[in-house]
Amino acid sequence: MQSINPVNGEVIHTYTEMPSVEAEHRIKQCHEAFLSWRKYSIEKRADRVHHAATLLKERKSRYARLMTEEMGKHLREAEAEIEKCAWVFEYYATHAVEFLSDTPVKTEMAESFITYQPLGVVLAVMPWNFPFWQVFRFAAPALMAGNGALLKHASNVCGCALAIEEVFSDAGFPKALFSTLLIPGKRVEEVITHPLVKAVTLTGSTEAGRSVAAMAGRCLKKSVLELGGSDPYLILEDADLDKAVTACVKSRLINNGQSCIAAKRFIVVEAVYEAFVQAFTAQMEAIKMGDPTDNMADIGPQASLALRDALHRQVTESVKAGARCLIGGHIPEEKGAWYPPTVLVDVQKGMPAYAEELFGPVAAIIRVKDTEEAIAVANDTAFGLGSGIFSEDIKNARRIARDRIIAGATAVNDFVKSDPRLPFGGVGESGYGRELSVFGIREFVNIKAVTVGA
């Protein structure tokens, strides 16, 4: 298991795979810690969580640089990611009492109420693209609800995984309540099927989600899946094009284009199509690719050569099928996993750029006749994670967002962002269940009904 710097392809560190006997020991330790932690008051749990948030802020520079080295995220985005992790911890430390307090229900009984009890040890299978945020947005609600947590992180960010474990240890959580398992993906099943593991959450590809869901299903264990997306952004005839182009470019290139909720398919009505394409392409062309530690650079490399090459295959196959590449679309000669901002037009059904998730700085622009066709094309996907609508008719755009677009989130005149205050997740091949907000903290609890007779 290696961490490789995608800027230059150099090996940062090699990690030894954890043997099964050690993984078994860590699972048992996590369970023992859970039995203690579940007895803590929510207020006492919140003290530990607040302390962890403080440590994140104090160590922001160190942890951000580690992320940048392991997966190529721009340093300023990595620092913002650490700040967001502290935010989600502070949010749940503040609101967990409200979210987990018993809910009274009026019935014919003397007393009826709903209570929320922790499930036990929860396994998190997490991806490399937001190596801190993805983990902390799971850990904050899961731990505040009284659960234990095991982390199986992506193999290329083992350094981040161990640093995250360090945060919980140094913040005074019970020993092993949060524990990292340095194991490859092929060994996830041995953890999911362990009798002390009660649930699993995965953020990753649709293929990985299917596999984990099947394993959990065979064991009758709760699962939450946040998978990929091919997020449509509708540019309607009355859109403010300056606002739309700026937001769409920013969303497409967040995290070097490697975000499940990035704007990916730009569905533009023909009345503004040429103007949008011209302005959008100009902004994409002005983006500077370079060292992610350099403030003058806008985006860095892809996380690995394999991921870069898979993205390039999608581009070349789409071009062979009739798409036109206006800018980018080539592999640079520089050493490292580099791929330039790329704009594809004349994208049609049947092309990879139309149907598949483009996990990198590649934009697929689709021309449509009118709003109705834009909605139809937006929903013509197996995914359903994020989406956006640009229109100056707010009432109509709000109605379309609420009633017509099939997705877990839709933004009007902006792009979708994960926010601790709002539920996050998708439908279809983008997964099921919700993270964040009150819904996220209630995913891994036993929602128990209690009645008391007269």
Residue-wise pLDDT for 266-279, tens only, equals 999 999 999 999 99
User: Is residue 20 in a domain?
Assistant: yes
Asked if residue 420 is part of any domain, the answer here is no
Is residue 418 situated within a structural domain?
A: no
Q: Is residue 317 part of a domain?
A: yes
pLDDT value of position 432? 98
CATH code of 82's domain: 3.40.605.10
Statement to judge: residues 192 and 321 lie in one domain: no
237 plus 197 within the same structural domain: no
* Percent of all residues in the chain with a pLDDT value above 90, rounded to a whole number: 99
Is the same domain home to 355 and 271?
Answer: yes
Q: How far is CA 454 from the centre of its chain?
A: 48
Does 260 participate in catalysis according to the annotation?
yes
Do 271 and 342 fall into the same domain?
yes
Catalytic pick from 30, 85, 160, 260? 260
Same domain, 66 and 215: yes
Judged against a pLDDT cut of 90, whether residue 360 lies above it is answered with yes
DSSP state of 299: B
Are 394 and 447 part of one and the same domain?
Answer: no
Quote the pTM value: 0.96
pLDDT reported for residue 300: 97
Say what the pLDDT of residue 454 is. 82
Indicate whether 265 and 394 sit together in one domain. yes
- Domain limits at 329? 231-412
Mean pLDDT of 77-90: 98
Examine the domain organization and report whether 205 and 96 are in the same domain. yes
CB 289 within 8 A of CB 341: yes
Task: Assign 177 to helix, strand or coil.
Answer: coil
For the chain, how many structural domains are there in total? 2
At 15, is the pLDDT very low, low, confident or very high (cuts 50, 70, 90)? Answer: very high
Q: Which amino acid is at 79?
A: E
Q: Does residue 249 lie in a domain region?
A: yes
Is residue 248 domain-shared with residue 292, that is, in the same domain? Answer: yes
Set 226, 356, 429, 435: catalytic member: 226
419 falls within a domain = no
Q: Are residues 212 and 295 in the same domain?
A: no
Residue of higher predicted confidence among 210 and 334: 210
Same domain, 202 and 302: no
What per-residue confidence (pLDDT) applies to 433? 98
Question: Are residues 65 and 102 both part of a single domain?
Answer: yes
Phi first, then psi: give them for residue 217, nearest 5 degrees.
-60, -40
286-309 mean pLDDT? 96
SS3 226: strand
